[in-house]
Amino acid sequence: MPAPQTAAAPSAPAPKPSLAVQRRVNAPPAKVYAAWTDPQQLVRWFGPPGAQSKKAEIDARVGGRYRISFVAPDGESYGVGGVYREVVPNAKLVFTWAWQSTPERESLVTVTFRAEGAATLVSVTHEQFFDDQARDRHRQGWDAALDKIAQMFA
């Protein structure tokens, strides 16, 4: 008698790529958090290598939106935006992330601010990338941005 046939269990989708980066910033969490939530401060440091931020609109509350535009070294303009999902002043920001050019590729960013003496450890976790190439490009961008914010408080 043949063994009964069983249906193969559906395989879970492969996890989407993610990244995590950290920087120590020589300022207390309240000042570093303000640099993330005050548009005038954000445009001073945000963006990938060589980019110049032009404008930031920030409504840092759960359900509030943000939008940041900048110009790349080649003169091309870019915009990114999303919605805040969690806002814990001086401690944590969670927000969606979607480029103006590819709004269907929404991902998720979590930023935490942890006091280390008179400094702050900033941790950025960016999840749910479309593919490995998108993750790798964003890693370069986050590394450059965190280097810039650290320099702003050096």
pLDDT tens for each residue of 66-111: 999 988 888 889 999 999 999 999 999 999 999 999 999 999 999 9
Distance between CA atoms of residues 18 and 132, nearest Å: 8
- Report pLDDT for 51: 79
> For the whole model, what pTM was predicted?
0.88
Residue 105 to residue 133: CA distance in whole angstroms:
13
DSSP, collapsed to helix, strand or coil, labels residue 93 as strand
Domains of the chain: 19-152 (3.30.530.20)
**52 or 152: which leads in pLDDT:** 152
Residue that is written with structure tokens 């280390």 in the block: 116
Q: How confident is the model at residue 54 (pLDDT cuts 50, 70, 90)?
A: confident
